[in-house]
Amino acid sequence: MEQTAKLCTIYVGHAVETLAAFIIGLAVVKVMCHYTLTLFSKKGSFSKEAIRVQFGSSVAVSLEMLLGADVLATAVAPGWDAIGKLAAIAVIRTALNYFLGKELNHMPATPENYQ
């Protein structure tokens, strides 16, 4: 039973990491498409701030998911070395997410620019 729980935890952690990478990749493609449309469109369908907010939101969600995946990975073999690495990763990702959130909150909210 314990082995099944460990295996399940590892698979779920890898799935969450893959999903987070997919979200970031999809966000990059979306940003490139919107930015290209903005450059070549005369009316400018998206503002640069709206593009940044959309991308920043995707990165914030991905950071939270990656932190959750790290917690799952550490739950399998909680040695002191793994716990120390998790603590360092958690501090770095939480700080990144905090400052990203602060920057996103200072962006002007114009719903007509979001599609």
pLDDT at 111: 47
Q: Tell me the residue type at 102.
A: K
The C-alpha atoms of residue 3 and residue 96 are separated, in whole angstroms, by 34
pLDDT at 114: 47
Total count of residues recorded for the chain: 115
The C-alpha atoms of residue 21 and residue 44 are separated, in whole angstroms, by 29
Residue percentage of the chain with pLDDT more than 90: 31
Position with higher pLDDT, 115 vs 47: 47
Q: How far is CA 23 from the centre of its chain?
A: 7
Question: What is the gyration radius of the CA atoms in the chain, in angstroms?
Answer: 18
Q: Considering the entire predicted model, what is its pTM?
A: 0.76
Q: What is the DSSP letter of 106?
A: T
pLDDT digits (tens, 9 = 90+) for 79-115: 888 888 888 988 998 898 888 888 888 776 554 444 4
